[in-house]
Amino acid sequence: MLVVDDSVLPRAAARTMLGTATGLRLVGEASSGAEALLAMGRFKPDLILMDVHMPGMDGAATTTEIMAQYPRVKVIAWTVSESSDDLLRMMRAGCSGYVLKDVGPAELQRALWSAVRSESPVPRKMIPDVLRRVTEQTPLSQNTSPVSLTSREMQILRGIAKGIPTKRLAQQLGLRAPSVETHLHNLFRKLNAANRGEAVSTALKIGLITLSDL
């Protein structure tokens, strides 16, 4: 993976926290968006930890450019900001998730592995505000067709709305993790969503769930 941050200390912190991570290997660092683009060609990482606020080409602009050239790469926004504006901007640029810089090694590694599994790690405390913003900015169309979900898919939907990871959701529902993944795939297809965040925001907009489900 590649770490992109304009400050030395966060890059050093990431290096330390990832030093003990099983299955995650740091292949390079970049101190700017331009350096990140060069590093992509050199190191070919499949996972990127991306700072949000950088001078010149910021995290969103860098992510947009990277995703245009390397659409399969997973980018995790990494920042001190708890602003829903920043989170939405990064997610719209193509980020797979969002993690705060004050987390410890275990939480950072969990967020990275969630992205590898095509989940969308987002700080739990930020989700309600972000989904409210998404709902406000994209009002429900009067012509929206109802989406029919099975009872199991509704259980899965409510679980991901609460930010419950796949393994724990499987335990709670008495299922195997692959079965949960199958239900998730069907859920994403029915809601025309690419990830958990899109599925939850779409379900909110069409009334399948409400903010009380978060």
Query: What is the longest distance spanned by two Cα atoms in the chain?
Result: 52
Residues 6 or more apart whose CB falls under 8 angstroms from that of 82 comprise: 100, 123, 125, 126
CA 168, distance to chain mean position in Å, is 18
Beta strands 2-4 and 47-51: pairing type?
A: parallel
* Sign of the C-alpha dihedral computed for residues 83, 86, 88 and 94 taken in this order: negative
β-strand partners of 99: 78
Q: Which amino acid is at 20?
A: T
pLDDT tens, residue order, the chain (214 aa): 999 999 999 999 999 988 877 788 899 999 999 999 999 999 999 999 999 999 999 999 999 999 999 988 999 988 887 776 787 788 778 887 788 888 888 888 888 888 887 666 665 555 555 555 555 555 444 444 478 899 999 999 999 888 788 888 999 999 999 999 999 999 999 998 877 777 887 887 777 887 666 6
Instruction: Round to the nearest angstrom and report the end-to-end CA distance of the chain.
Output: 32
Q: Is the CB of residue 60 less than 8 Å from the CB of residue 32?
A: no
Q: Is the CB of residue 53 less than 8 Å from the CB of residue 81?
A: yes
Residues 6 or more apart whose CB falls under 8 angstroms from that of 112 comprise: 1, 21, 24, 47, 49, 76
DSSP-derived 3-state class of residue 105: helix
pTM of full prediction above 0.75: no
Tallying the residues shown for the chain, one arrives at 214
